[in-house]
Amino acid sequence: MNFILRLLCIGSALVVVSTATLTFDPDLICTLVVNGTKMNDPRACNAWVQCIDEKPVNGTCSGDLFYDRETQTCVDSSSIDCISSEPCAAEPNGFAADPYTCNGYYYCINGTGSHGTCGTGMNYNPATMHCIRDFPCEEKMDPDSLCNILPDGVFIKDTNNCNGYQMCWKSKIINGTCPGTFLFNAQKAECVYPQTVECTITESPPVTVASGICAKAGDFISDNETCNGYYYCHELETGEFTLEHGVCPDGRFFYESDDGGVCAPRSKVNCPYDRCVDLGNTTIQLANESDDDCRGYLICQDGTSIGSGICPTDEYFDEVTQRCSTQVISYPACELSSSSSSSSSSSSATTTSETATDGSSSADSEASSSTTINGS
Ligand SMILES: *[C@@H]1O[C@H](CO)[C@@H](O)[C@H](O)[C@H]1NC(C)=O
Ligand SMILES: *[C@@H]1O[C@H](CO)[C@@H](O)[C@H](O)[C@H]1NC(C)=O
Ligand SMILES: *[C@@H]1O[C@H](CO)[C@@H](O)[C@H](O)[C@H]1NC(C)=O
Ligand SMILES: *[C@@H]1O[C@H](CO)[C@@H](O)[C@H](O)[C@H]1NC(C)=O
Ligand SMILES: *[C@@H]1O[C@H](CO)[C@@H](O)[C@H](O)[C@H]1NC(C)=O
Ligand SMILES: *[C@@H]1O[C@H](CO)[C@@H](O)[C@H](O)[C@H]1NC(C)=O
Ligand SMILES: *[C@@H]1O[C@H](CO)[C@@H](O)[C@H](O)[C@H]1NC(C)=O
């Protein structure tokens, strides 16, 4: 088991974090923005790309019209500046600036450009179409910059941080981060519960931790937040430790053991955090609760518990059949832990049958009556 964890950690350390794109990559951008987003295609003046279900779809304006990303319409070519990686895109005949350098230009014939470079110390002035000594090189309007491609106000998932997003506003990029432990969901363009976002990016930057949390290098410890999350203790050359976050495979929960921590089948692990993690993705599912003598159940949706229920007196919850049963159920996952077994039979879980917090009506109706699952 420890071996499996070790492999997972090596795997996640090798995840290559894609850095800022140097050239237009619509396949990547379409995974970072909300469904339906339309953007300039910087390879042409009259073309756009729309993201449908995370895939780019091409479109072009008719006639001589240019695409305007802000109004998302085709407009007269003289009414906007076309910023294109293709230098002859705006004007197929004549001189054009090199979009990527200060001292370069193109001479375009029928849309095909020949590159030229101004003499030493001179830069190309697009307004006069001359090379001019010491002409101030303004910051180039990079055609591949996201803010020359996407309209203002579109959320863009940060490729380096699962909780980060960016937005263009008046051609400047604004960075943002989700509050608390929320992560950014590109398709919804909103901050959501961390369980609902696949985050393959290793935690960065690594923070060194106080001595004592990691006993020795290579230990696995609970993340103290989720049933399936753990940290790997990574020792630095300085002797300090950093923590690398990892998640157990579906159906397994983490627990600390004498040999450093394992991902064990969830039914074997008594865990004080939300046991709904990984459950309820497509339909509502029920899960055992910890520490309740196997009497109650959680109602899970999108990896979080949205309510709970309790079986009728003298019945036990059996997660396998998803219903209450008179047969005594005693699984490590839900049996009373030694600390609470001394208390009376009314454990905390049996006192409530409705703890739904996010108002899902279908869940409330299931949670409010314990007999619904018994009778079904
Ligand atoms: C994305 O948008 C397209 C076009 O509007 C639509 O047909 C499709 O169902 C949408 N996909 C999702 C996942 O909403
Ligand atoms: C979209 O247009 C670009 C540039 O013209 C082209 O390279 C690409 O293959 C096109 N994609 C599709 C799916 O047609
Ligand atoms: C430009 O293209 C047109 C049609 O394709 C052709 O008739 C014309 O000779 C070309 N002009 C030059 C300067 O190559
Ligand atoms: C936004 O974040 C990126 C890296 O994610 C950084 O390079 C850039 O300087 C930041 N911009 C601002 C305005 O904070
Ligand atoms: C988790 O909690 C335990 C007990 O309070 C503590 O010893 C441990 O250091 C905590 N782990 C982390 C990663 O904070
Ligand atoms: C449920 O969704 C989460 C997040 O998208 C994913 O990590 C997990 O593998 C899914 N679980 C199942 C059983 O499909
Ligand atoms: C509940 O316990 C049963 C029996 O051990 C197990 O098969 C099942 O996977 C558990 N369910 C959850 C959600 O922990």
Ligand nearest to the CA of 112: 3
Residue 206: predicted pLDDT: 52
Residue 345: predicted pLDDT: 32
Residue 18: predicted pLDDT: 29
**Contacts (Cβ under 8 Å, ≥6 apart) of 278:** 195, 228, 250, 251, 303
Residue 29: predicted pLDDT: 93
Atom of ligand 5 nearest to the CA of 243: 13
> Does residue 237 sit within a domain?
yes
Residue 214: predicted pLDDT: 83
Residue 174: predicted pLDDT: 87
Residue 207: predicted pLDDT: 57
Over the chain (376 residues), the average pLDDT of each successive run of 10 is 37 30 81 94 94 95 93 93 90 90 92 92 89 81 86 90 88 84 88 82 57 80 90 82 85 83 86 87 77 84 85 83 83 70 32 30 30 27
At 98, give phi and psi (nearest 5°): -75, 120
Cβ of 270 less than 6 Å from ligand 7? no
Residues 99, 163 within the same domain = no
Q: 160 is in which domain, residue-wise?
A: 152-196
Residue 13: predicted pLDDT: 31
Alpha helices per DSSP H over 250-375? 338-341, 361-368, 371-375
Cβ of 6 less than 6 Å from ligand 2? no
> Does residue 234 sit within a domain?
yes
**Contacts (Cβ under 8 Å, ≥6 apart) of 102:** 123, 124, 135, 137, 140
> Does residue 211 sit within a domain?
yes
Structure tokens at 369: 């009556």
Residue 60: predicted pLDDT: 96
Residues 233, 214 within the same domain = yes
Residues 27, 129 within the same domain = yes
Q: How far apart are CA 358 and CA 370, in angstroms?
A: 19
Residue 145: predicted pLDDT: 85
